[in-house]
């Protein structure tokens, strides 16, 4: 497997790890939380991240397609997120041809998704349900592990 694809797969595993941490344990009603009028709600951001992963897969398969989805429940979009990341990961792992270069997949949908996971983490803090900080360098993140079940944190901050 080429190094760019290997790195992209590790990046997806990192996204899944960080997203799992930001998504898990969200308080009741968090999907509707927004910092102010005119801003996206946490649920809208999570739905957008799902759309980004669907878009990434479509680009990888040479059939670029974008579709905006309305948010479902927090739980349903959590399932949708991990399913979309899994589908993208499975395609990357298959060795199938990429319809766009790996670095373009990273700089577009994957980097955007990482940014939005940071937004969800910030919104959690604003909603008085903060996600514990962590030394992510120490985290047990492995290419291919992109589901909701992730390794326990190795070095969280107090």
What is the per-residue pLDDT across 93-136, written as a single tens digit (0 to 9) for each?
999 999 999 999 999 999 999 999 999 999 999 999 999 999 99
* Torsion on CA atoms 120, 53, 91, 153, rounded to nearest 10: 0
74-94 and 3-23 helices, crossing angle to 10°: 170
Query: What tokens appear for 117 in the block?
Result: 């996971």
- 119 domain residue, yes or no: yes
pLDDT in tens, 51-75: 999 999 999 999 999 999 999 999 9
- 68 domain residue, yes or no: yes
- 139 domain residue, yes or no: no
Closest CA to 50 of 24, 30, 26, 74: 74
- From the CB of residue 44, how many other CB atoms can be counted at a distance below 10 Å? 18
- 154 domain residue, yes or no: no
Query: What DSSP state is assigned to residue 107?
Result: I
User: Average pLDDT over the chain, rounded to whole?
Assistant: 96
- 153 domain residue, yes or no: no
Residue range(s) defining the domain that contains residue 116: 3-26+42-132
- 33 domain residue, yes or no: no
- 89 domain residue, yes or no: yes
Number of domains in the chain: 1
């Amino acid at each position: 497997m080429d190094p760019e694809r290997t790195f992209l797969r590790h990046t997806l595993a990192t996204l899944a790890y960080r997203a799992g941490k930001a998504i898990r344990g969200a308080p009741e009603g968090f999907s509707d939380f927004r910092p102010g009028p005119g801003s996206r709600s946490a649920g809208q951001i999570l739905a957008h991240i799902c759309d980004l992963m669907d878009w990434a897969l479509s680009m990888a398969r040479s059939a670029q397609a974008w579709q905006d989805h309305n948010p479902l429940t927090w739980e349903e979009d959590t399932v949708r997120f991990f399913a979309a990341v899994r589908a993208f990961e499975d395609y990357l792992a298959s060795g199938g041809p990429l319809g766009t270069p790996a670095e373009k997949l990273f700089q577009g949908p994957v980097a955007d998704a990482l940014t939005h996971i940071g937004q969800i983490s910030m919104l959690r803090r604003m909603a008085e349900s903060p996600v514990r900080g962590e030394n992510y360098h120490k985290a047990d993140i492995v290419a291919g592990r992109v589901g909701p079940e992730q390794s326990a944190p190795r070095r969280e901050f107090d």
